[in-house]
A and B are shown apart, each in its own frame.
Chain A
Amino acid sequence: MPTVSNTFDAQAPDGPERYLQVIGPDGSRTPCPELDDWVQDVDTRVLGDLYVDMACIRRLDQEGTALQRQGELGLWAPLLGQEAAQIGSGRALDRNDFIFPSYREHGVAYCRGVNPHDLLRMWRGAAPSGWNPYEVNMANQQIVIGAQTLHAAGYGMGLKLDGSTSAVITYFGDGATSQGDVNEAMVFAASYQAPVLFFCQNNHWAISEPVTRQTTGYIADRAKGFGLATWRVDGNDVVAVLAATRAALAHVRSGTGPAFIEAVTYRMGAHTTADDPTRYRDALELEEWAAKDPLDRIAAHLDSLGADLEALKLRASAAADALAAGLREAITTMPDPSVDDLFAHVYSHGHSWLEGQREEYRLYLDSFAADAEVSR
């Protein structure tokens, strides 16, 4: 008779993790019939570029954390460990594909060419968001868990109405899959066969709650129940993520319905700079995942191909240094918002009540200037 647990601690699926992989943690290339065709063009040069990309966003993340510690940013959501998931998917997208991210997709924004200024503005508290979504085809960061997946589903419905060949991708974490909105988004996308790619970065932790608190099985299996084509990939294998994203995008572009990718990865840092992961997770688990590092395995793989690793690492550090310098400069040159920004953009056109409040506050502030004038 099976043991019945008297707690609510869910169990992970028995046996080893099952996911698609192209390059193993030790850098070895393993045949993957489901994905190989999608990455035939990935030669030493492309691998090198992916490595540089990942090195850059790892540095971006280090700088973000450091800037928060120095008081320059109010908060930062680290992506350390998730470089392959973000670069692999971000580099698979076409320029016209639209992205609805959560708040951790700095790497995807980097792929989109969002400039450092715009990337940091929200985290600094200088504005509610950084960039114009229509300039980079990427919505602003979403903080409410899973809310953006519905926006992606609706955008995808719009693409379909327009007869567009573009796709829409939405990013979210394992915790988000418990939210009603994510489930509703899959219902809508499937029902209208909208070209939506749901990209779940299963980084194993929703702040302090392990993925087993969200599900007792594989998240990708759940998506199958909604009628989505699904891929479960090693999220620390940038080539596998690139391949799966290309395959899934081809599927959604074919008009036969949405797709779902579960990229199995690990958040090596804190949820945000406001929490302390040592309170809730085991150091051994970190060690285990450090051995699956996405950058190390590409380096090892390139090494096995006889590539000039030293030259590559020099190129990567030069690119990362330039990015870091850009981030630092963005902070030093970013102006504080003005009082006018307080009332701007609440509505797209005149609003009598708000205009009254703005005017009242302006008069109030002016009264200090007038007082100063008198006392001079």
Chain B
Amino acid sequence: MKTLTFSQALNSGLRAAMEHDDKVVLMGEDIGKLGGVFRITDGLQKDFGAHRVIDTPLAESGIVGTAIGLAFRGYRPVVEIQFDGFVYPAFDQIVSQLAKMHFRSRGNVKLPVTIRIPFGGGIGSPEHHSESPEAYFAHTAGLRVVSPSNPEDAYWMLQQAIADDDPVIFLEPKRRYHQRGDVDLDQVPEEGSLYKAKIVRPGSDLTLIAYGPLVKTALDAATAAEDEGIDIEVIDLRSIEPVDFETLGASVRKTGRVVITHEAGKFAGIGAELAASLTERCFDHLDHAPVRVTGFDIPYPPAKLENHHLPDLDRILDGVDRAMRRTGTQLGEDG
């Protein structure tokens, strides 16, 4: 057991993956000498060489497109997109090429490419540095989308994503990069567990689902709700695509109430899918319609306003109140 920050855990995960398989190569802008703008690849070029930690030209479509070519040749590229808002120039290569090549080639070409994207807000950055693009990727067949919420998951989920033969969009909650936590370096997770949700706090009154940056906020909300006598079960989704509906459904059938929270906008977001699918699966067990507590459907706001946009403990508790039919705002009941 080791105590690591989220970013150290990612760095260690990359190192372990590169030691395990010499076909693993890292690609991205400024990831070599600089170690990445968030220093996630710190020291790796020095230890593994510039042929395995590849500083790329400044061209996102080029980075993903050439990673596809490398994977075609048998490599296992791990791509760093510098910031969430810069992934869009690579969107075509991700959704039309990376996602579809296995299907297009009828299973002959595997593209084990991992695309790491520091995502989400809360760090006071300018435009294009705080986006939550997960729904775009989750909607694209052929991609898998995951997001760790703590250092231990960061360490293991990254290695599992790299070892996966399918392309994985790996979303790193950048505002948690400095969060510390225990990492068990020896307890190898069982196969397939990358796509399993985790009950991170058991409870009986309500299921609160979060992923990535909001898992910590959700846990804080659950602790606060305890004082009001509400026993919340918090689930860390971990895998956004595919969703582990088995774990989610069992929890919702137990509690009868569900609140879903994410930073991305509400409309056609991941929360919409979770709410609809859980309603289809658990309708007879629900005591209230699923409630979503999300970012607004606006371009990511300037830093001085982001605290209004991002779901915080109070807004989540307000959602909990609505799901519990206690007082709470009446959002979403105007249509």
Interface residues of A (CB under 8 A from B): 98, 100, 127-129, 132-134, 139-140, 144, 147, 149-159, 161-162, 180-181, 184-185, 187-188, 191, 344-354
- Tell me the minimal C-beta distance from A91 to chain B in angstroms: 24
Given the interface pairs A132-B108, A347-B142, A353-B243, the reply to whether A157 lies near B96 with Cβ below 8 Å is no
- Tell me the minimal C-beta distance from A118 to chain B in angstroms: 11
- Tell me the minimal C-beta distance from B189 to chain A in angstroms: 16
Kindly list chain A residues whose C-beta atoms are within 8 Å of the C-beta of B31: none
List the one stretch of B97-105, B203-211, B302-310 in contact with chain A: B97-105
- Tell me the minimal C-beta distance from A136 to chain B in angstroms: 11
Dominant secondary structure of chain B at its interface with chain A: mixed
Given the interface pairs A151-B69, A352-B242, the reply to whether A347 lies near B166 with Cβ below 8 Å is yes
Q: Which of B69, B74, B100, B106 interacts with A152 by CB under 8 Å?
A: B69
Complex contact A181–B61 (CB within 8 A): yes
Complex contact A155–B165 (CB within 8 A): no
Complex CA–CA separation, A374 to B109 (angstroms): 44
- Tell me the minimal C-beta distance from A339 to chain B in angstroms: 15
Dominant secondary structure of chain A at its interface with chain B: helix
Complex contact A187–B62 (CB within 8 A): yes
Given the interface pairs A184-B62, A185-B65, A352-B195, the reply to whether A155 lies near B70 with Cβ below 8 Å is yes
Q: Which of A152, A154, A351, A354 interacts with B67 by CB under 8 Å?
A: A154
Complex CA–CA separation, A129 to B70 (angstroms): 21
Complex contact B165–A154 (CB within 8 A): no
List the one stretch of B51-59, B229-237, B252-260 in contact with chain A: B51-59
Complex contact A129–B106 (CB within 8 A): yes
The reply to whether the CB of B73 lies closer than 8 angstroms to some CB of chain A is yes
Q: Which of B56, B65, B192, B195 interacts with A151 by CB under 8 Å?
A: B65
Q: Which of B68, B89, B105, B241 interacts with A133 by CB under 8 Å?
A: B105
Kindly list chain B residues whose C-beta atoms are within 8 Å of the C-beta of A158: 69-70, 72-75
In the complex, the chain A residue whose C-beta lies closest to that of B273 is A353
- Tell me the minimal C-beta distance from B56 to chain A in angstroms: 7
The reply to whether the CB of B66 lies closer than 8 angstroms to some CB of chain A is yes
List 14 A-B pairs, Cβ < 8 Å.
A100-B69, A147-B65, A150-B62, A150-B66, A151-B72, A158-B75, A161-B25, A188-B56, A188-B62, A188-B66, A191-B57, A344-B106, A347-B102, A349-B165
The reply to whether the CB of B244 lies closer than 8 angstroms to some CB of chain A is yes
Complex contact A151–B97 (CB within 8 A): yes
How many residues does chain B have at the interface if contact means C-beta atoms less than 8 Å apart?
Answer: 48
- Tell me the minimal C-beta distance from B173 to chain A in angstroms: 23
- Tell me the minimal C-beta distance from A176 to chain B in angstroms: 13
Kindly list chain B residues whose C-beta atoms are within 8 Å of the C-beta of A180: 59, 61, 89
- Tell me the minimal C-beta distance from B71 to chain A in angstroms: 8
Q: Which of A155, A157, A188, A345 interacts with B106 by CB under 8 Å?
A: A345
The reply to whether the CB of B216 lies closer than 8 angstroms to some CB of chain A is no
Q: Given known contacts A144-B97, A181-B62, what 16 new A-B pairs fall within 8 Å (CB)?
A: A129-B105, A133-B108, A133-B109, A147-B96, A150-B65, A150-B66, A151-B65, A156-B69, A157-B70, A158-B73, A161-B75, A188-B62, A345-B107, A348-B107, A351-B242, A353-B245
Complex contact B62–A352 (CB within 8 A): no
Kindly list chain A residues whose C-beta atoms are within 8 Å of the C-beta of B54: 157
Complex CA–CA separation, A100 to B65 (angstroms): 12
- Tell me the minimal C-beta distance from A134 to chain B in angstroms: 6
Complex contact B57–A151 (CB within 8 A): no
Kindly list chain B residues whose C-beta atoms are within 8 Å of the C-beta of A144: 92, 96-97
Complex contact B93–A181 (CB within 8 A): yes
Given the interface pairs A140-B104, A181-B61, A345-B102, the reply to whether A157 lies near B69 with Cβ below 8 Å is yes
Complex contact A184–B59 (CB within 8 A): yes
Kindly list chain A residues whose C-beta atoms are within 8 Å of the C-beta of B243: 352-353
Kindly list chain A residues whose C-beta atoms are within 8 Å of the C-beta of B142: 346-347
Chain B, 117-176, CB within 8 A of any chain A CB: 141-142, 144, 165-166
Complex contact B65–A184 (CB within 8 A): yes
Complex CA–CA separation, A153 to B75 (angstroms): 14
In the complex, the chain B residue whose C-beta lies closest to that of A351 is B242
- Tell me the minimal C-beta distance from A28 to chain B in angstroms: 42
Complex CA–CA separation, A257 to B228 (angstroms): 68
Complex CA–CA separation, A155 to B255 (angstroms): 52
In the complex, the chain A residue whose C-beta lies closest to that of B99 is A346
Kindly list chain B residues whose C-beta atoms are within 8 Å of the C-beta of A352: 195, 242-246
Kindly list chain A residues whose C-beta atoms are within 8 Å of the C-beta of B75: 158, 161
Complex CA–CA separation, A354 to B244 (angstroms): 12
Kindly list chain A residues whose C-beta atoms are within 8 Å of the C-beta of B59: 180, 184, 187-188
Complex CA–CA separation, A181 to B100 (angstroms): 18
Complex contact A154–B105 (CB within 8 A): no
- Tell me the minimal C-beta distance from B141 to chain A in angstroms: 5
Complex contact A187–B108 (CB within 8 A): no
Complex CA–CA separation, A134 to B62 (angstroms): 23
Complex contact B106–A127 (CB within 8 A): yes
Given the interface pairs A147-B93, A346-B141, A352-B195, the reply to whether A153 lies near B108 with Cβ below 8 Å is no
- Tell me the minimal C-beta distance from B248 to chain A in angstroms: 11
Complex contact A155–B73 (CB within 8 A): yes
In the complex, the chain B residue whose C-beta lies closest to that of A152 is B69
Complex CA–CA separation, A188 to B29 (angstroms): 13
Convert B16-31 into 0s and 1s, putting 1 for each residue whose CB lies closer than 8 angstroms to a CB of A: 0000000001000000
- Tell me the minimal C-beta distance from B143 to chain A in angstroms: 9
What 10 pairs between A and B have smallest CB-CB spacing?
A154-B69, A150-B65, A158-B73, A154-B66, A184-B62, A155-B69, A345-B107, A151-B69, A348-B165, A184-B59
The reply to whether the CB of B110 lies closer than 8 angstroms to some CB of chain A is yes
Kindly list chain B residues whose C-beta atoms are within 8 Å of the C-beta of A354: 141, 242
